[in-house]
Structure 1
């Protein structure tokens, strides 16, 4: 049975002030996959008129966090998701609206089994950021963990 995560887009705006401040929108949310976008906002631009690298990173990290929440929302009583590390590769100059597609890199069941065995799991979320034409501008991996609740 698939988990209903339709609440997540609004929850991210309420729980994460950065999301609301930057105007990030969550276009698609499903367990294991999220698509988020960053509007073209001059206040968030770099010196060449596109989204600043920090905004690109923030969009990707926010999308990855939303994927983690979508995959583990029903289990937040027993663990807290935390980003461990991230790597980003800026591939092409981005202009205008950018979109981040984040995908869980391991099955949620495997991650939960590891947590239940007493091990603190780490798992990747891969993120591809594209421009309005669908050209890949960034590729990113964020490694997350589930910290057991005490």
Structure 2
């Protein structure tokens, strides 16, 4: 079982556990601390993150900056991939295609979905991410290609 899966399973149902899980992830990959996010759901094939609209993430017109949403999309895609991969598989982001559909304001919901990941096969795995606003309107979408491949055997 992955370290991410162990950490989520031990923290998510405890008071403050989702917040703590998100902080630990941000300590491992500090760039993610630049956005104000919290994991709400993490399971094989899907993840959900809350993204707060904070002034520190605004652009010049007072809406959530496009790159903050890209950061949230990569966070959702990466952690959901890490949670879902079999223990003999490694992964790395290979590419990202985004669409900015509408100015983003207020509390945002980031939802990532991915197909099953096979052991022993090298493959590009598309992770879809959608960000919606409080009204349920989609403000941003992304497809992040994760290159998944078998881990190399360690030399004896």
TM-score normalised over the length of structure 2: 0.78
Query: 2:40, 2:31 → 1: CA distance?
Result: 17
Q: Aligned to 1:100, which of 90, 101, 110?
A: 110
Distance change (3 Å), C-alpha of 1:34 and 1:6 = farther
Q: Secondary structure at the match of 1:134?
A: coil
Q: Give CA deviations for 1:19-62 in whole Å, capped at 9, x if unaligned.
A: 23322210111111000122111011011111100001111111
Q: CA deviation at 1:80?
A: 2.5
Counterpart for residue 135 of structure 1:
137
User: Relative contact order (C-alpha < 8 Å, sep 6+): which is higher?
Assistant: 1
Query: 1:124, 1:56 → 2: CA distance?
Result: 18
TM-score normalised over the length of structure 1: 0.81
Greater than 6 Å deviation, 4+ residue runs: none
Query: 1:132, 1:95 → 2: CA distance?
Result: 8
Counterpart for residue 14 of structure 2:
none
Q: CA RMSD in A?
A: 1.9
The count of corresponding residues between Structure 1 and Structure 2 is: 136
Q: CA deviation at 1:138?
A: 0.8
Retained in 1: the 8 A contact 2:64–2:103?
no
Q: Secondary structure at the match of 2:59?
A: coil
Counterpart for residue 28 of structure 1:
41
Q: Secondary structure at the match of 2:33?
A: helix
Give 5+ residue unaligned stretches, structure 1: none
Query: 2:106, 2:61 → 1: CA distance?
Result: 12
Q: Secondary structure at the match of 1:7?
A: helix
Counterpart for residue 100 of structure 2:
90
Query: 2:116, 2:150 → 1: CA distance?
Result: 18
Distance change (3 Å), C-alpha of 1:142 and 1:45 = same
